[in-house]
């Protein structure tokens, strides 16, 4: 039986061109060694099976042989080890990438994205579990996703992780040292992970895809050194250095302060990809002219967050203006608009930048951010307010800023249960899990003349979308109101 399963995996590797035919025996022997098996019989017929099914059978075999405990944490570590047997070494991957890049940047990324899925670094069968839909809003079509591709930690793994020896290697999940790393229960296996080295701002950086791909070709571009994120002039240079090399991709950065930043502030990195976000499609609602930069198109974007868009065919001019805006924003205070640059020596103002190329013109969106907190809003004034936490409580990072909601996995089960309660007329407030949604449901339900099993999904998706739009509006330092736009222009006029 093991021979058939190993043969199926090797055949998959040949079929997807991860390995050539001449490496069939070599790869088979690598896999046999992992299973501590000395015997092998080549099957007469090798069934063509989906990768998920092949790996499941091999993992079950490993559990039955006592090689690993039967839990998701150990299974993920083990199947990554198996897939590394099919994954070419880094030098081979880099060589193929740059050969294809010589034909065109898109040809290179197309190949690398497929490769990263074929070798199971991106687990297609988990990604497809994510729930995704679009909703109409005053700002265009907004993307909503409930992330289900990250596996929940099981009790065995949690218990084992508590007793595991702490290590500082790799320093974080973005470090170059992750390439080929076997992983542990509190750090994902990356044996089948491959990094493409690129030069950004005259320094060594890495290019890879996110294993959780929240959108098409979701990539990560990261410094080869473990150094903190910083939004400054160099950050703008780095963004455009990448876009020049990969003009079909966008690239943006999380802000560099807590609350308004991403989950990893300790390692300098950007995120991008080949996807058209709602914010990029949003028009400029009012043009502005910055003295000394009249040659750069600039304007306020029609978006719930506070966005200045800069456009020019000359990248240095955009970078100069962006640096000018950032420097002013860092120290800008407007008490009437509740914008404070510093309190008690703590800085609050920063920017979330996104770069792209549209036809022959370069664009840079600058999203103004502020992370001040108050007693009323202890998680942030410009953060989802408490009445929205039942849907989204987490930080509003780069991906959400651009118009894609990444919502917690808990919502899948909660919405299923909520449908049952709504359709049967049960009291939502009496259910411990659903009580947090009670005010929300009582607010939107009367708007619908008929709620049935046929339309309940659409209703909930629409209303979740409306909540996310409110989340973005809460995160905007200047509101989309007459007073908000006046305050926005007040800042612009200081430039």
Instruction: Give per-residue pLDDT as tens, 86-126.
Output: 999 999 999 999 999 999 999 999 999 999 999 999 999 99
Q: Which of 86, 31, 40 is nearest to 59 (CA)?
A: 31
Q: Over the stretch 178-221, which tens digit does the pLDDT of each residue have?
A: 999 999 998 999 999 999 999 999 999 999 999 999 999 999 99
Reported as a pLDDT band with limits 50, 70 and 90, residue 238 is very high
What's the mean pLDDT in 270-282? 97
* Dist. CA 326–CA 237, nearest whole Å: 14
In terms of Cβ atoms closer than 10 Å to its own Cβ (0-12, 13-18, 19+), residue 132 is middle
* DSSP character string of 420-448: HHHHHT--GGGSTTTGGGHHHHHHHGGG-
pLDDT at residue number 104: 98
Cross-strand bridge partners of residue 220? 208, 271
Q: Do 144 and 464 meet the contact criterion of CB atoms below 8 Å apart?
A: yes
The pLDDT mean for the chain works out to 95
Instruction: Please state the pTM of the whole predicted model.
Output: 0.94
Q: Is the four-CA dihedral 93, 96, 100, 101 of positive or negative sign?
A: positive
Report yes or no: 9 and 58 within 8 Å, Cβ to Cβ.
yes
Closest CA to 403 of 284, 307, 300, 270: 307
Q: Residue 120's closest CA among 214, 32, 56? A: 56
Whether the CB-CB separation of 173 and 264 falls below 8 Å is answered with yes
SS3 214: coil
Handedness of CA 31, 33, 36, 38 (dihedral sign): positive
Q: Which residues pair with 252 in a beta bridge?
A: 271, 354
Looking at the DSSP bridge assignments, the partners of residue 301 are 284
Average pLDDT estimate for 164-178: 87
Residues 1-43 pLDDT 10s: 899 999 999 999 999 999 999 999 999 999 999 999 999 999 9
pLDDT > 70: percent of the chain: 97
Question: Rounded to an integer, what distance in angstroms lies between the CA atom of residue 186 and that of residue 161?
Answer: 6
Average pLDDT for 250-262? 91
* In contact, 325 and 309? CB cutoff 8 Å: no
Q: Where are the beta strands (DSSP E) in 104-254?
A: 131-135, 142-146, 196-200, 203-209, 219-223, 250-252
* pLDDT band (50, 70, 90) for residue 149: confident
Please enumerate in sequence order all residues whose Cβ is within 8 A of that of 412, keeping only pairs 6 or more positions apart, or say none. Answer: 131, 146, 148
Whole-angstrom distance, CA of residue 324 vs CA of residue 318: 10
What band does 153 get if pLDDT is binned at 50, 70 and 90? low
What average pLDDT does range 343-368 have in this prediction?
Answer: 97
Say how many C-beta atoms besides its own lie within 10 A of residue 455's C-beta. Answer: 12
């Amino acid at each position: 039986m093991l021979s058939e399963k190993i043969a199926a995996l090797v055949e998959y590797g040949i079929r997807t061109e991860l390995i050539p035919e001449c490496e069939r025996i070599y790869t088979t022997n690598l896999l046999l060694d992992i299973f501590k098996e000395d015997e092998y019989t080549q099957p007469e017929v090798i069934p063509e099976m989906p990768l998920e099914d092949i790996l499941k059978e091999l993992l079950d075999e490993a559990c039955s042989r006592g090689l690993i405990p039967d839990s998701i944490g150990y299974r993920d570590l083990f199947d990554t080890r198996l897939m590394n047997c099919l994954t070419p070494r880094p030098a081979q991957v880099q060589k193929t990438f740059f050969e294809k890049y010589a034909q065109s940047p898109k040809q290179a990324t197309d190949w690398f994205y497929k490769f990263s899925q074929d070798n199971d670094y991106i687990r297609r069968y988990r990604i497809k579990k994510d729930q995704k839909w679009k909703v109409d809003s005053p700002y265009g079509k907004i993307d909503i996703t409930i992330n289900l591709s990250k596996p929940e930690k099981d009790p065995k793994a949690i218990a084992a992780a508590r007793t595991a020896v702490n290590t500082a290697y790799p320093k974080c999940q973005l470090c170059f040292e992750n390439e080929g790393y076997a992983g542990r229960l509190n750090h994902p296996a990356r044996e089948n992970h491959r990094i493409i080295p690129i030069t950004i701002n005259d320094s060594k950086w890495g290019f890879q895809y996110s294993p959780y791909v929240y959108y098409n070709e979701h990539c990560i571009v990261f410094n080869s050194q473990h150094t903190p994120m910083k939004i400054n002039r160099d950050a703008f240079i780095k963004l455009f250095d990448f876009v020049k090399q990969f003009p079909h991709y966008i690239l943006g950065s999380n802000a560099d302060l807590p609350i308004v930043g991403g989950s990893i502030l300790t390692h300098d990195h950007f995120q991008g990809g080949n996807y058209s976000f709602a914010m990029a499609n949003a028009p400029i609602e009012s043009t502005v002219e910055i003295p000394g930069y009249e040659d750069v198109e600039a304007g306020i974007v029609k978006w719930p967050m506070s966005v200045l868009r800069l456009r020019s065919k000359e990248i240095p001019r955009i970078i100069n203006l962006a640096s000018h805006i950032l420097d002013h924003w860092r120290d800008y205070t407007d008490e009437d608009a509740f914008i404070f640059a510093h309190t008690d020596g703590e800085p609050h103002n920063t920017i979330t930048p996104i770069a792209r190329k549209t036809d022959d013109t370069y664009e840079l969106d600058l999203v103004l951010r502020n992370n001040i907190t108050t007693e009323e809003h202890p998680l942030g004034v410009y953060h989802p307010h408490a009445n929205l936490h039942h849907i989204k409580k987490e930080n509003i990072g780069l991906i959400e800023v651009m118009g894609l909601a990444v919502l917690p996995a808990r919502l899948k089960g909660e919405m299923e249960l909520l449908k049952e309660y709504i359709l049967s007329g049960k009291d939502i407030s009496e259910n411990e899990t659903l009580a947090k949604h009670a005010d929300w449901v009582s607010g939107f339900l009367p708007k619908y003349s008929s709620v049935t099993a046929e339309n309940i999904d659409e209703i909930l998706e629409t209303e979740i979308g409306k909540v996310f739009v409110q989340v973005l509006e809460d995160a905007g330092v200047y509101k989309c109101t007459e007073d908000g736009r006046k305050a926005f222009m007040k800042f612009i006029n200081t430039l």
